[in-house]
Amino acid sequence: MLRRNKRNEPAQALLAAAETGGVLAEEGEAFAGRGRTLRADAMRRLRKNKLAMAGLVWIIIIILIAITADLWAPQTLGDPTYIDTNKVAELSLQPPSADHPFGTDKLGRDIASRVVYGARVSLLVGVVAVLIMVVIGLFMGAVAAYYGGIWDSLIMRTADVFFAFPYILFAVALIAVLGKGFQNVFIAIGILGWPSIARVFRSSILSIKKNEYVDAARAMGASTLRILSRHIMPNAISPIIVYATMSIGGAILTEAALSFLGMGVQPPDPSWGLMLSEARAYIFTAPWLMVYPGLAILTTVLGFVLLGDGLRDALDVKLKE
């Protein structure tokens, strides 16, 4: 029959609380007796934030539109890349109507269809680029914070080099090296975005390293990998969730800017930034060419910003009732 090691019981209790998220308490008092976990309380606060929920609903709508575009857009709005050479003059620059809700461009293509398919490009670039920057940033930030010393100096000075260059100019230069194209856009954005993630994660880890449950894990002989993966990273990830959510909106804006400059998505593929670039010459004669893709960018980015702001408030364990 195995004996319980009573000397390790306090350390085991600390580790259990750290791994399961524990019960939300303002140093043991704020939520005592309510039995509500950190995750449940964060979800409750997020649901009460009307702006955050509005942002989430709009993001879900955009995602559903982008996913189902093939099922209805070509049949109801037309192929976004098809040009009827026999009717270009007839269909060119038509204002919004029943047949073309958002009007047509100079080549007679339906603007609504191009906006719908452009959502795919923007969302895919935003999500994939942020995934790349998060993976690189989490690794770099964890190494810099946990090991410190030469590793911390090397990684942080490398991040300073990235911060020293104007972001858009650096992205244009990187795409010039990689080549124009849809895939290279999110690769460039992801590579250039990791320093911010690394700094946020490093700061979070440095504050968590001082907690007692990390010392308890070390005293019980836990390996470095286990301490990082089970005790530090889960408790340091909240700021990254907030930052990554907001960064998706920033990545969408960057893709639009690069496409506007001719360095992103190339014609005839639809992209909100490319549509704005093509609409410059018709800003006064056909303003609908710029209004609808501009509104798509504005509302989508705003949705991610509102959701990220709501997540920040929801995940703040010091937030009072």
Q: What percent of the chain has pLDDT over 90?
A: 31
Q: Parse the chain into domains and list their residue ranges.
A: 51-71+108-314
CA distances from 126 to 143, 183, 239, 256 (A): 26, 12, 18, 11
By percentage, how much of the chain surpasses pLDDT 70?
Answer: 87
What's the pTM value of the predicted model, to 2 decimals? Answer: 0.81
Mean predicted confidence (pLDDT) in 278-297: 91
Tokens 């590579």 -> residue: 191
**Alpha carbon 113 to its chain's center:** 25
How does pLDDT run across 234-269, given as a tens digit for each residue?
777 888 888 899 999 999 999 999 988 888 888 888
User: Residue 264: helix, strand or coil by DSSP?
Assistant: coil
C-beta contacts of 95-99 below 8 A and 24+ residues apart: 95/286, 95/288, 96/288
| Residues shown for the chain | 321
- Residue 10: pLDDT band by 50, 70, 90 thresholds? low
| Stronger pLDDT, 1 or 98, i.e. the higher one | 98
pLDDT at 29 over 50: no
Counting Cβ atoms within 10 Å, is residue 98 exposed (0-12), middle (13-18) or buried (19+)? exposed
Q: Mean pLDDT in the chain?
A: 82
The highest-level CATH class for domain 51-71+108-314 is mainly alpha
Give me the pLDDT at residue 63, please. 94
Q: Is the pLDDT of residue 320 over 60?
A: no
Query: What's 25's DSSP letter?
Result: -
Bigger pLDDT: 264 vs 158: 158
